[in-house]
Chains A and B, each alone.
Chain A
C-alpha cells in the first residue's frame, strides 16, 4: 500500500489515537500544503495562537488542532519532561461536573469505581462500561465532596460519553434522582508534569502547601493570582498536576508557567511517548468497547466495595471474569528490530498467532522499542519470549512488566503498620 506523505499529519482514529502504523508515508514527501492545521472544521483551544507563536506544529487530533511538538524533537521533549517540567495543553479533553444528592449513586451505576468510598478532595482513574462489560472510556473521577463529582473524559470519546451520560441522566431524573450535569466548556486544562512541577507550581500558588497535596488529591487555589482547580495527577508517569483554569485566563496562566526556565511546552508527540513508557493506556488503541477492565489489566479500578454487588453496566460479565479468569490479557513488550506498532501480530516462536500489539514506539528514555498489546493468557507471564511482526519480519519480543520506567507519583505515605 502506498504510504503518502500527508499522513505524516496523524490521522484521527476513533478516539484520536496517534496510529503510527497508519502513518507510514512516503519519504517521497509532498510538502505540507498548509503550514499549520488551520482547517476551519477543526476546533481550537484558547491556546492555539500561543502554541503557534511558540513554534507549535499543529496537527488534527480528535477534531481539534493541537500541537504535536514545538521546536524540540519528540525525543528531546520526552526526556526533558522526566528531568524538568513540561506543560501540555489538554483542553481538548472534556471536563464536567455531576451535582446533587444522588450524583454519587448515579455515577456508580455507570463506572466501576468506589466513588462513595473516595475521600472528599480525592480522585481515581476509572472506566465507564457498557452492557457487555466493555470499556466505553477511561476517565479520571474526582469527588470534590459528597454532592459534587468532577469528571474528565477523553476528547475522542466526548460525543459518545455525553450521549451515554445524557441517556442515563434522563432515566435517573425520571425516577426522581437529584443529579445534574454541567459541562466545563468555558474552562481549559493544562497539565504540568515532571519532577520540577511541584517547585514550579509552588512558586506561583497561594493558600496551599503542595507538600500535603498527594497523588490524586484535588484542591482549588490561586495560581499566579488565577483561581484554578488542581488535581495532582497526569498521563506521563511523573509527578504532576492537571490545572483547570477559566479559558479567559488560560493564556495568562500558560505564560506564567512557561516563564520558569525549568518548564518547556510539550505536545501530543511526547505525551504519547511518555504515557507508553509509563504503561498507561490510550483509549482507542489499548482500550475499546470490546475489552473489559479485567482483560485490560484495570481490575484494580473496580472498587472492593463494588465487588459485592457489581452494580454497574456489564457487572455480571465482569464478576464472572474476576471469578473465572479471562482468555486474554494486556501486557507490555520490549522488542528488537523496527518498532512494533498498533496491529503488529504477536506469535509464539513456533509461529502460532497469540495476540496483537495495540500501542508501540521507540522509547526516547529507554532507547529501545516498547509496546503494549493483548496476548492469550498462557503467554502473558513476564519473560515469555514471543515474536512481533513488523513489515513482514518476525522480530524477537519479550513480555515485560509495566511501567517501563519508574513512576514517582507523590503518594500519601502509608500509615505505619502495627
Chain B
C-alpha cells in the first residue's frame, strides 16, 4: 500500500511520513496528512477500503488531525443499515462531537470494539487499526461517487 503526503493545515501529531517530508526540505509552515492509495474517499473525509462485497470504513488522517484527540467513538449496532452520505456514528474529540457519514450503503457487519477502550487509535492509526465499521455492500455502483486517493488529496489541498 503506497502512502502519499500532501500539504494541508492539519493540527495533530506529524506522522512518520510527514516527518520524512519535512526532513526532505518541505516547509514546516504546514503539517502534512497522509492518504492511502487504493482506498476510496468521501469529500466528508471518510474512507472505504473495499474487499469483495465488504468495505471497511474510517476517517482520514486529515480528519483526525483536525478533530484533535478522540475521546469517544459512538459505534452503531451490528445489523444497522447504512446509506451512502448518511450519518452512522459520532467521533468525539476533547472539544467537539462530529457526525461520521457512511461512504457506502449496506449493512454493518462488524464494529471496532477496540475503540471503546482506546478511542485514540483513530488518531494514531486512522487508516488501519482506527477503522470504525465494516459494511456488507448493497450497492457497489455507488463506489463510483467516491474519490480516489489523488482526487481526495487534491480536494484537501484546495483549501
| B39 sits at the interface (CB 8 A) | no
Question: Which of the residues B8, B74, B96 comes within 8 Å of A23, measured between beta carbons?
Answer: B96
Q: How far is the CB of A267 from chain B (nearest CB, A)?
A: 11
Chain B positions within 8 Å of A272 at CB level? 95
Question: A29 CA to B9 CA in the complex, in Å?
Answer: 13
CB of B68 within 8 A of CB of A27, answer no
Chain B contact residue count (CB 8 A cutoff): 35
Of B18-26, B40-48, B104-112, B134-142, the one contacting chain A is B40-48
Give per-residue flags for B120-157: 1 if the beta carbon is below 8 A from chain A beta carbons, else 0.
00000000000000000000000000000000000010
Across the interface, B97 reaches (CB within 8 A) one of A32, A74, A338, namely: A338
Q: Identify A338's interface contact among B59, B74, B100, CB under 8 A.
A: B74
Contact pick for A27, options B11, B71, B100, B159, CB 8 Å: B100
- How would residues 47 to 68 of chain B score, 1 for a CB under 8 Å from any chain A CB and 0 otherwise? 0000000000001001100111
Interface residue from B99, B101, B159 paired with A31 (Cβ < 8 Å): B159
Q: Which residues of B contact A28 (CB under 8 A)?
A: 42-46, 99, 101
A402 at the interface (CB under 8 A from B): no
Given A27-B44, A35-B9, A269-B94, answer yes or no on A73-B68 (Cβ-Cβ < 8 Å): yes
Any chain A CB within 8 A of the CB of B17? no
Residue in contact with B95 in the complex, picked from A18, A30, A337, CB distance below 8 Å: A18
Residue of A nearest to B101 (CB): A28
**In the complex, what distance in Å separates the CA atom of A23 from the CA atom of B94?**
11
Shortest B27–chain A CB gap in Å is: 13
Which A residues are in CB contact (< 8 Å) with B94?
Answer: 73-75, 269, 273, 361-362, 364
List 24 A-B pairs, Cβ < 8 Å. Answer: A3-B97, A3-B98, A8-B96, A8-B98, A24-B98, A24-B99, A25-B96, A25-B99, A27-B46, A31-B8, A31-B9, A31-B158, A33-B159, A73-B11, A73-B12, A75-B94, A76-B69, A272-B95, A338-B74, A338-B90, A339-B71, A361-B94, A362-B94, A391-B90
Interface residues of B (CB under 8 A from A): 8-9, 11-13, 42-46, 59, 62-63, 66-69, 71-72, 74, 87, 90-92, 94-101, 156, 158-159
Question: Which residues of A approach B to under 8 Å, CB–CB?
Answer: 2-3, 7-8, 10, 18, 20-21, 23-33, 35, 57, 68-69, 71, 73-76, 269, 272-273, 337-339, 341, 361-362, 364, 391
Given contacts A74-B69, A272-B95, 19 further A-B contacts (CB under 8 A): A2-B99, A3-B97, A3-B98, A8-B67, A8-B96, A23-B95, A25-B99, A26-B98, A27-B59, A27-B98, A29-B44, A31-B62, A35-B9, A73-B12, A74-B95, A269-B95, A338-B74, A339-B72, A362-B72
